Structure 1
């Protein structure tokens, strides 16, 4: 009742009734709406009136998306206990010196009990878990590699779409196409044991179609988390073993252009980041991230007694020129741990405002490395719940089915 009274008051003040001649310009109303909490905007959108129609327009949702991206992402956490599959976001972990003195602020992403992703009668052995996150929309699968059912959900609007899959192709990405403003899925499969075929699923038509005309016969390596998105393209690593696969210098990074659906490969700095004097126990972990709209190549060097992480920046996208910009010394954390163990449990998350976020799966700590000041600070997560950080997340009003 209080919300409805406030909404009616808001309409009477800004819109002056139904007479368009006495309304405030739409641009002013949109600017005011963008400053309101998103929960209030969602409730206004559900009403069939002037405000609801304005909020549902593509122009408003596009503007809201750009402002959400400008404010920066939140950290998405999932409760990995079997009895309680909840989602949380952390909002204040970068506030200095907040993360050194105070506990993080956590917000529960409410999931309505009637959502199918909450159904306990799952099709498969394990409950759904997060596979991708893109522009405020999350994709859940039962089996991370070839799940037959995908649950696509926008926790802000509670819109949910179920995608049935009849094949066993590798799910590569959930992405938001900048051309037709639609969410899509990308998957890849191998035919006759060698030929790679790429398929795109469009939510509007609920159909899969094959991408034709590509000569790239590569599969992105499976890693949990979304591919690096920059320059209207998705990026995956295709090779890790630099010593046994010398050809990775030419096709180490797979690229999918979202606007024209072209697929091609580019080299990563494999030949120069490979350290020849490291012994056979050396393990490398390579991850692609984005920093200030630049593609980053992260290379973990885990070898006792040292632990280091090199970050290469793609300074010029068209010329494809890399520069080794940062060398992070993680030796204080590394001594006494098996290199192969470190290789498997360390997960880089993302880079925001000059802070590199990562965590070790065995600990309940996030680690924030200040790239400029070369300082490492831990952030302890609440102990009562078994959390697993997934990656970045923003709240949006984008519809899954446009």
Structure 2
């Protein structure tokens, strides 16, 4: 193939070809020549590559000797065993480690001991965000986060709910605060707050331009709180069941569907999917996983991925990842993802991107690499 081959191709065809390459190869292609460097850094390439990227996995593992974030790709081939379905793409360390609070279009929201951080693991850029001045992470304050992208303006937004359970008891009703941060503005602003309580540090499920959380009203009735990132308006969706089972449950984005995973039962884990988004009558019990004898205690379970052979990966609390085989009805633990004792494990579906934080938000944000 001659050197003039790519030179004579229209840019949109070159972009389509290059976007199909593995991410490490694309990074190396930036060193081929200046025209390719300019092309691979362009908005057109970033947008096209993101639209073609397959979701992977962002993992935070806190162990006794180390703390690290890792990005994995899925190798979904039928002849691969469980261990080889996860391919490490990159690993990175931030100055302050913290749990992953959300993933949106390739960017991660991470909560260190103080403040918040937005990072892109592929470009190795990050920026710190100060939380509102009137908020602090001290007991008994509870915080709930979400991170997503608006549908029309394509603005990246961080949403934070906070409430004080002890203050709620004194007042006799729920009193929450809502703050919204749009990346690139450098400031928070108040928005309408829900009259619901959430679990401490739970993160919002980003789907269809909305963030979703499972919360409870003053009568302990369960609701799915929905925050429209474009209009910044709140609404509620009825969950698939309103009994006390949802005390050990959470809401997730599972592929292109809204999902509620309920692990209240001592014997089984139930995964509900909303077939038609927004239609409360379309909830369907999709999977029922029979628990092993050693899977006890009140742990929220997060579905991760269903593979071609019917096996499903799920996160048990913040301890370990397990695979469930629907054909055999067996549960096997993934030793490569586990945390014991005082250690923690956190993971979330994540789609890599080449979006540059410095080019997109550097005018108003302090971006580092």
Which TM-score band applies after superposition, normalised by the shorter structure? Answer: 0.7 to 0.9
After TM superposition, give the deviation of residue 103 of structure 1 in Å.
Answer: 4.8
Aligned match of 2:263: 300
Q: Is 1:394 paired with 2:360?
A: no
Map 1:295-334; keep pairs closer than 5 Å. Answer: 295-303=258-266, 307-331=267-291, 333-334=292-293
Question: Alpha-carbon deviation of 1:188?
Answer: 2.1
Among residues 95, 110, 113, which one is paired with 1:140 in the alignment? 110
Aligned: 1:14 with 2:6 = yes
* Counterpart contact for 1:288–1:295, Cα < 8 Å: yes
Deviation at 1:82, TM superposition (A): 4.8
Give the 3 Å change call, closer, same or farther, for CA 30–327 of structure 1 in structure 2.
Answer: closer
| Separation in 2, partners of 1:53, 1:393 | 26
**Deviations along 1:252-301, whole A, 9 cap, x unmatched?**
11001122221111211333x557xxxxxxx9421213344221222113
Name the CA distance, whole Å, in 2 between partners of 1:284 and 1:139. Answer: 26
> Is the 1:290–1:351 contact (alpha carbons within 8 Å) kept by the matching residues of 2?
no
CA contact (8 A) 2:204 2:212 kept: yes
Q: Deviations over 1:181-239 (max 9, x none)?
A: 3322111234986543322112212111222xx47433443354x42222221111002
| CA RMSD after TM alignment | 3.5
Aligned-partner Cα distance in 2 for 1:383–1:208: 36
- Displacement of 1:85 in angstroms is 2.0
- How many residues in Structure 1 have an aligned counterpart in Structure 2? 340
Q: d(CA) in 2 for partners of 1:309 and 1:296?
A: 13
Cα 1:292–1:111 change in 2 (3 A) is closer
Alignment of 1:3-402 (within 5 A): 12-15=4-7, 23-42=8-27, 44=29, 49-68=34-53, 71=54, 73-92=55-74, 94-99=76-81, 103=84, 105-107=86-88, 109-111=90-92, 117-118=94-95, 127-143=97-113, 147=114, 149-165=115-131, 166-168=133-135, 170-190=143-163, 194-211=174-191, 214=192, 216-224=194-202, 226-239=203-216, 245=219, 247-248=221-222, 252-271=223-242, 284-303=247-266, 307-331=267-291, 333-334=292-293, 339=296, 341=297, 343-344=298-299, 347-353=301-307, 355-360=311-316, 366-370=321-325, 373=327, 375-382=329-336, 388-400=345-357, 402=360
- SS at the partner of 2:12? helix
Gaps of 5+ in 2: 137-142, 169-173, 361-369
The 1-side partners of 2:25 and 2:353 are apart by 13
Residue 279 of structure 1 is matched in structure 2 by: none
Q: Secondary structure, in 3 states, of the residue corresponding to 1:205?
A: coil
The answer on whether the counterparts of 1:137 and 1:154 sit within 8 Å (CA) in structure 2 is: yes
Find the aligned partners of 1:374 and 1:239 in 2 and give their Cα distance: 36
- Cα contact 2:240–2:280 (8 A) shared by 1: no
CA separation of 1:153/1:232 partners in 2, compared to 1, >3 Å: closer, same or farther? same
Between the aligned partners of 2:194 and 2:288, the Cα distance in structure 1 is 34
Q: 1:395 to 1:327 in 2, by over 3 A?
A: closer
Contact 1:349 1:391 in 2 (8 A): no
- Divergent runs of 4+, >6 A: 383-387
Distance 2:190 2:122 in 1: 32
- Structure 1 gap ranges (5+): 1-8, 16-22, 276-282
- 8 A Cα contact 1:75 1:391, kept in partner: yes
Higher relative contact order (CA 8 A, sep 6+): 2
- Please tell me whether Structure 1 or Structure 2 has the larger radius of gyration of its CA atoms: 1
Q: 2:214, 2:250 within 8 Å by CA — same for their partners in 1?
A: yes
